[in-house]
Amino acid sequence: MNDIYLHHAAMYETMYKTFIDYEGEYRMYRDLLALPHGGCVVEAGCGTGHMYPHFVGEGYSYTGIDINRSMLDIGLSKHPAADLREGDMRALDLEKPADGIFLMSRTLSYMVTNIDLLAAFSSIYKNMAPGGRLAFDVIDASRFITEIHPQSRVEHTAFDGSVMYRRVSRWSPDHSECWTFRWISEYYSTHHGGTETHVITDDSVVRAFTAQDIDLALRLSGYSEISYFEKEAYAFPTLVFRAIKE
């Protein structure tokens, strides 16, 4: 698990809530999942539980699962009544089958081997009710990997009160496991307009996927009626998938 999630979860939370239109993401996943009224939805890789109030606010039962305790603690501080649990998407064990399960923010990027990917899809499948839907997004390898320029830099800033955070990211190919690449980000903070301080270097190997990669893995895991569409999102071209448990 990356140190940024373990020791700098609050900074990560501040940064990412400036990137993502959570209301728009909610509407997209709600429509893709086509949940029954009052249905049970599970978010795997929920982070701090941003989607909880959106689903609960429209009458759905929401459970969020994340491998990172620090992120969940932030979520529970904001939403004490939320059902946010520590767990691994590769080994889900829900008390009740879900009507729909979703993963947003390209969470599957951390499933860098096919063993990981198939374990996640199989685990999710086992924990869904018949006819349940899975929806998620991934980095589109066919559009991103060929466009990587190791000298390019992408910079983001975010504010938390009087603190400014800055992230400078760069990418480089790393094809040791499928369509993987190194994502190196330098994080900085400035307090009360003072001197900028380096906080942490996040050096991760993550994965992009072709549409064929995902389609095959889903079919091997038992899903049917697989569909996808292209979507533009912050930093990466994205594919959004939906699949159904027969």
Report how far residue 184's alpha carbon sits from residue 4's, in angstroms, rounded to the nearest whole number: 12
Q: What is the pLDDT of residue 177?
A: 80
Collapsing DSSP to helix, strand or coil, 192 comes out as coil
Asked if 71 and 11 touch (Cβ cutoff 8 Å), the reply is no
pLDDT per residue as tens digits for the range 49-101: 999 999 999 999 999 999 999 999 999 999 999 999 999 999 999 999 999 99
SS (H, E, C) 126-162: HCEEEEEEEEEEEEEHHHHHHHCCCCCCEEEEEEECC
Q: Are residues 38 and 132 both part of a single domain?
A: yes
**Host domain of residue 74:** 3-140+209-245
* Number of structural domains in the chain: 2
Q: Are residues 36 and 83 in the same domain?
A: yes
CATH number of 40's domain: 3.40.50.150
36: which residues sit within 8 A by CB, 6+ positions away?
A: 99
Tens of pLDDT along 195-240?
Answer: 999 999 999 999 999 999 999 999 999 999 999 999 988 778 999 9
The CATH number given to whatever domain includes residue 168 is: 2.20.130
d(CA 159, CA 139): 27
Identify whether residues 134 and 224 lie together within a single domain: yes
- The whole-angstrom separation of Cα 15 and Cα 156 is 8
Tokens read off for 127: 């924990």
Are 133 and 168 part of one and the same domain? Answer: no
Same domain, 155 and 234: no
For 177-203, letters b (16+ CB in 10 Å) and e give ebbbbebebbbebbeeeeeeeebbebe
**Whether the predicted pLDDT of 9 surpasses 80:** no
Closest CA to 48 of 66, 72, 27: 72
In a shared domain, residues 40 and 122: yes
Q: Tell me, yes or no, whether 167 and 125 share the same domain.
A: no
157 and 72 share a domain?
A: no
Alpha-helix residue ranges (DSSP H) falling in the chain: 3-7, 9-16, 22-33, 52-57, 69-78, 114-126, 141-144, 211-220
Are residue 165 and residue 135 in the same domain, yes or no? Answer: no
Pair (129, 72) in one structural domain: yes
Same domain, 42 and 74: yes
Rounded CA-CA distance 85/190 in Å is 33
How far apart, in whole angstroms, are the C-alpha atoms of residue 135 and residue 123? 14
Residue 157 has phi, psi (to 5 degrees) of: -130, 155
What mean pLDDT value characterizes the chain?
93
176/227 same-domain check: no
pTM, full prediction? 0.92
Average pLDDT on 100-107 reads: 96
pLDDT at position 173, please?
Answer: 87
